[in-house]
Amino acid sequence: MVGAAGEDVTDIASGPLPVPVQVQRLHPDAPLPSYAVDGDAGADLCTMVDVRLQPGERALLPTGLAIALPAGYAGFVQPRSGLAWRVGLGMVNAPGTIPSGYRGEIKVIVVNHDRENAVELRRGERIAQRVEQARFEVVDRLPESARGAAGYGSTGGAAALSTGDLLAADTVPAANNRGDDR
């Protein structure tokens, strides 16, 4: 197989897309995984509980969902970039791996990396993204999309993101600019 730039992409990965994924609601009010913008790779996962995380504190947040992936595939739970950038919320085990055989509730282990401020999350807020394996093709230029280059919380979804405007590129609030990732 030859990619748009003329290189051989045969061994990168192949298979039909999208991957069919069965979802079971373990709680009747659990929001289904959803894509903020058509064509996104990450489907948002929401918390089923309210939580306030003090600086350095961790929590295991239930999503109220279980999934069945096809054999040979895995799902990956990753932090949302806007929550990471704006309030310091991360995942302890990023990415979290969901093997094809796992049928239990998807839970997300979050941590407040901010050294001074608590992070509050409300039931139903988007806390992470679930990404499945995909087939990649190397190209010289990417096509236009509805999202474009917008990211780092541009689709909203958590009250913590409404605390201020996104700072200029390469700028980190002084309270968080410590030179390490603790």
Residue pair 83/45 in contact (Cβ under 8 Å)? The answer is no
**Higher pLDDT among residues 98 and 58, named by residue:** 58
Among 18-27, 57-66, 110-119, the least confident range: 18-27
Q: What is the dihedral of CA 170, 175, 176, 181, to 10 degrees?
A: 140
Q: What domains are there in the chain, each with its CATH number?
A: 27-132 (2.70.40.10)
Closest CA to 119 of 153, 163, 179: 163
**Higher pLDDT among residues 82 and 9, named by residue:** 82
Q: How far apart are CA 119 and CA 100, in angstroms?
A: 32
Going from the C-alpha of 52 to that of each of 80, 121, 123, 160, the distances in angstroms are 17, 6, 11, 11
Triad 103, 75, 57: Cα angle to 5°: 85
What does the pLDDT read at residue 41? 80
Q: Is the pLDDT assigned to residue 178 strictly greater than 60?
A: no
Report, as an integer, the average pLDDT of 131-147. Answer: 61
| Edge-to-edge strand list for the sheet holding 43-46 | 43-46, 126-132, 74-79, 96-99
Is the peptide bond preceding residue 55 cis, with omega within 30 degrees of 0?
no
Band of pLDDT at residue 76, cut at 50, 70 and 90 = very high
Q: How many residues are present in the chain?
A: 182
**Higher pLDDT among residues 166 and 125, named by residue:** 125
**What are residue 75's DSSP bridge partners?**
98, 132
